[in-house]
């Protein structure tokens, strides 16, 4: 009787089908599976190592010196010890991410960022191209310095207000907020979560190579603005050309564009901008490191909170809320580090570098660099975390760069492009899917719109990486 009731109840069948529905594994699950594969590899992959030598104070692999050594396969307890050790060894990077999140949360909560954006909008009303350009540049700068990346999601709603006032569609709203943010993130010339971590692992000066990255930033963001404007112009001329449809006229949209942008807001943004410029100077003049930057973000958050008129409790709690928002992304760094600890302890990391270098030996340095870029793009489908991917990729790419005769600066940017571009099109990107959900844009429609721009970005990346190889782009 009970069995018949169970099989005939349609609600229970629905519940069963829901339970069987496949879900994309979380990034932590994927990384743990990779960790298990690394443990298995310690029993199957021969141990080996390269000789290394110090060049300009940096320890580099000596090509042609790989030799097999005695192995040290990982045991059961080593899996979990590696996780703990990974967190400890990555402590500086983890706290950099947390403290940066705290500082930017204080600045955002002050209303300065929203006020600045909406003031730019109000100043350019009636000049649609300049409005799209200015808003896009602001978000691109936010992405390039790490101030806005995952946190762009709520700003998409502001993008919708802007585009409704302009009688444009939701695709443009996503492009001038999320799309522009990741156009800047693609280069990340002052991004502590990606370029900062990658350069630290590659053992090259923090935020070095700024000049070429600034040029790439200008070209990529410029191309993004022109691409967005070309589509927006078509929609303005003929709303039926919209891929997602133009929303009905909303009388409240222009009213929502009005937000205070006080002298205090200007002071806060000015202080943050000057602080970041000072940090660039300090990395060159005083050789500041990741640890200095983490400490500096505490200062930025504290002073910004005081300037915003927050009391001591508000500053502390807001800073901690910002840290809390980035705990998920920060701890990924430690988990990714655990994978490398297992491979390093078993002496198989150099074996993987040797194996990867063999198919690249017959290629020119430029083609080998493009191969690095593509491989990182593919990896980002599984590990859609810039900091996590840096921890996995760079310990392999840095010695690989030594092997194939390119600079580690080029390897860092190959990783950065590979990680950055695909965040804007892969459905495994959490910020992308959340931004599309806020705007009500189907991923298929976005992918159709985004694909030509994605390919334009890739062409720019190939040109920049080729230039980097040709000029022997180093820590300048």
Segment holding 242, helix H or strand E: none
**Cβ neighbours for 314, distance < 8 A, ≥ 6 positions apart:** 305
Range of the domain at 202: 27-471
Which structure tokens are listed for 184? 């800047």
* pLDDT in single tens digits along all 476 residues of the chain: 444 444 455 555 555 555 566 676 777 888 898 899 989 999 999 999 888 787 666 677 777 788 888 888 999 999 999 999 999 988 887 888 889 889 988 988 898 877 887 777 777 666 789 889 988 998 899 888 877 776 777 778 778 878 887 788 899 999 999 999 999 988 888 888 788 888 988 888 888 888 999 999 999 999 999 999 999 999 988 988 988 887 655 555 555 556 678 899 999 989 988 988 888 788 778 878 878 888 998 999 999 999 999 999 999 999 999 899 888 878 887 888 888 889 889 988 888 878 877 777 778 899 999 988 988 888 777 666 777 778 777 888 888 888 888 999 999 999 999 888 888 888 767 788 878 888 888 888 999 999 999 999 999 999 999 999 999 998 65
Which pLDDT value is given to residue 63?
A: 76
Residue 220 maps to a domain: yes
The sign of the CA dihedral 208, 210, 213, 217 is positive
Residue 12 maps to a domain: no
Give the chain's radius of gyration (CA, Å): 24
Which pLDDT value is given to residue 454?
A: 95
Residue 5 maps to a domain: no
Residue 304 maps to a domain: yes
Residue 137 maps to a domain: yes
Which pLDDT value is given to residue 4?
A: 44
Residues 334 and 355: their CA atoms lie apart, in Å, by 25
Which pLDDT value is given to residue 17?
A: 52
Which pLDDT value is given to residue 190?
A: 85
On the 0-12 / 13-18 / 19+ scale of CB atoms within 10 A, 36 is: middle
Calculate the CA dihedral of residues 375, 476, 138, 100 and round it to 10 degrees: 80
Residues 184 and 190: their CA atoms lie apart, in Å, by 10
Contacts 24+ apart (CB under 8 A), 72-81: 72/42, 72/47, 72/345, 72/346, 72/347, 73/42, 73/43, 73/346, 74/38, 74/39, 74/42, 74/342, 74/345, 74/346, 78/39, 78/342, 78/345, 79/35, 79/36, 79/39, 79/342
Which structure tokens are listed for 345? 């302890």
Residues 148 and 272: their CA atoms lie apart, in Å, by 13
Residue 8 maps to a domain: no
Query: How many structural domains does the chain have?
Result: 1
Residue 431 maps to a domain: yes
Residue 202 maps to a domain: yes
Which structure tokens are listed for 36? 């298990």
The three-class DSSP label of residue 395 is helix
Say if CB 394 and CB 201 are below 8 A apart: yes
Residues 388 and 371: their CA atoms lie apart, in Å, by 20
Task: Write down the residue that tokens 């899996």 correspond to.
Answer: 79
């Amino acid at each position: 009787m009970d069995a018949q009731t169970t099989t005939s109840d349609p609600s229970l069948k629905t519940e069963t089908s829901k339970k069987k529905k496949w879900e994309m594994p979380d990034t932590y699950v994927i990384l743990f599976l990779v960790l298990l594969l690394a443990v298995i590899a310690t029993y199957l992959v021969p141990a080996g190592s390269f000789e290394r030598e110090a060049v300009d104070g940096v320890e580099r692999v000596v090509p042609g010196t790989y030799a097999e050594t005695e192995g040290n396969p990982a045991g059961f307890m080593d899996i979990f010890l590696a996780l703990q050790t990974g967190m400890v060894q990555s402590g500086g990077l983890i706290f950099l991410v947390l403290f940066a999140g705290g500082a930017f949360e204080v600045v955002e909560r002050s209303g300065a960022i929203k006020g600045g954006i909406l003031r730019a909008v109000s100043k350019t009303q009636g000049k649609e191209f300049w409005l799209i350009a200015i808003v896009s540049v602001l978000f691109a700068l936010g992405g390039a310095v790490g101030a806005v990346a995952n946190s762009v999601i709520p700003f998409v709603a502001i993008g919708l207000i802007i585009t409704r006032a302009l009688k444009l569609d939701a695709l443009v709203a996503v492009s001038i907020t999320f799309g522009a943010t990741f156009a800047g993130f693609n280069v990340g010339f002052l991004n502590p979560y990606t370029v900062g971590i990658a350069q630290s692992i590659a053992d090259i000066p923090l935020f070095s190579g700024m000049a070429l990255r600034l040029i790439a930033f200008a070209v990529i963001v410029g191309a993004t603005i022109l691409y967005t404007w070309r589509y927006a112009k078509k929609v303005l001329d003929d709303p039926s050309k919209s891929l997602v449809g133009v929303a009905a006229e909303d009388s409240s949209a222009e009213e929502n564009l009005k937000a205070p942008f006080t002298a205090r807001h200007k002071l806060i943004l000015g202080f943050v901008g000057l602080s970041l410029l000072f940090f660039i100077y300090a990395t060159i003049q005083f050789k500041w490191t990741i640890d200095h930057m983490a400490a500096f973000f505490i200062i930025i958050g504290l002073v910004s909170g005081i300037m915003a008129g927050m009391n001591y409790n508000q500053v502390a709690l807001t800073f901690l809320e910002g840290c809390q928002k980035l705990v998920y992304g920060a701890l990924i760094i430690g988990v990714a580090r655990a994978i490398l600890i297992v491979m390093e302890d078993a002496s198989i990391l150099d074996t993987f570098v040797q194996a990867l270098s063999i198919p690249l030996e017959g290629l020119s340095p430029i083609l080998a660099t493009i191969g690095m870029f593509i491989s990182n793009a593919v990896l980002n489908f599984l590990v859609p975390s810039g900091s996590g991917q840096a921890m996995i990729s760079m310990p392999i790419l840095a010695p690989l760069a030594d092997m194939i005769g390119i600079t580690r600066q080029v390897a860092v940017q190959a990783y950065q492009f590979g990680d950055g571009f695909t965040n804007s099109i892969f459905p495994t990107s959490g910020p992308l899917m959340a931004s599309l959900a806020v705007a009500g844009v189907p991923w298929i429609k976005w992918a159709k719109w985004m694909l030509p721009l994605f390919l334009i970005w890739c062409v720019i990346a190939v040109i920049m990486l080729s230039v980097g190889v040709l000029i022997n782009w180093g820590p300048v």
